[in-house]
Amino acid sequence: MSDKLTPQTIVPFLADIFERRGGEEYLGEPVTMAEHMLQGAALAERGGMPERIIVAALLHDIGHFTSEFGTYHPDDTHDRHHEEAGAEVLEEFFPTVVTDCVRHHVAAKRYLCATKPEYFKRLSIASVHSLNLQGGPMSAEEVAEFEHNPNLEEIVQVRYLDDAGKHADMETPGFSHFAPMVQRVVDAHCGVH
């Protein structure tokens, strides 16, 4: 249960989810859930991006596993909710910039489709399909409101990493490689020294 998790146990808890559940299918993509998230994190690390971006990419789809946190809702299986559910289970331990990247990674796709004409072409077939279920490109009003988020730049970066992390044959380090970094972000947020 998430209310029993602490800054000392959250990272091993997340590692365990990757270990036990990471092999599950990422619907319609040629990668497992763990491969998808590890690829995004590895690409961010290779690109020299800040730890908050690497960690956000690593955890952006954790909402697919919220039943593990004991906060299950019947709606969790619906794609429109995994991003909100993921942000909710992380927000006790991670800074807003990380949870915003998780919470808005689906909205960011709708945002980029509305504002960057070339963006749509990089989406996978499964992602185009889910875009339609998610409401299609944002309206001008939605774009204006989305741009008010102070973490817009990070949110967009993580969205690009989400789209990039779908390679059938990419080698990445495992979760354990990123665990010390995740712990640093948690400790900085929770005031653990």
Provide the binding-site residues for Fe ion, judged by CB under 5 A.
61, 162
Ranked by CB distance to Fe ion, the top (closest) residue is 162
Q: Residue 125 burial (CB < 10 Å; 0-12/13-18/19+)? A: exposed
Q: Which of 20, 57, 53 is nearest to 36 (CA)?
A: 57
Torsion over CA: 122, 152, 83, 36 (sign): positive
Please tell me the total number of residues recorded for the chain in this structure: 193
- For residue 61, the minimal CB distance to Fe ion (Å) is 4
Exposed e or buried b per residue across 43-74, where buried means at least 16 C-beta atoms within 10 angstroms of its C-beta: bbbeeebebbbbbbbbbbbbbbbbebbeeeee
Comparing CB distances to Fe ion, the nearer of 11 and 34 is 34
The CA–CA distances, whole Å, from 84 to 63, 122, 177 equal 7, 24, 26
Comparison of 45 and 162: residue with beta carbon closer to Fe ion: 162
| Smallest gap from residue 144 Cβ to Fe ion (A) | 25
Q: Which is nearer to Fe ion, 166 or 189 (CB)?
A: 166
Residue 41 or 140: the one with the smaller Cβ distance to Fe ion is 41
Q: In whole angstroms, how close is the CB of 3 to Fe ion at the nearest point?
A: 27
Q: Nearer Cβ to Fe ion, position 95 or 165? A: 165
Residue 137 gets which letter from DSSP?
Answer: S
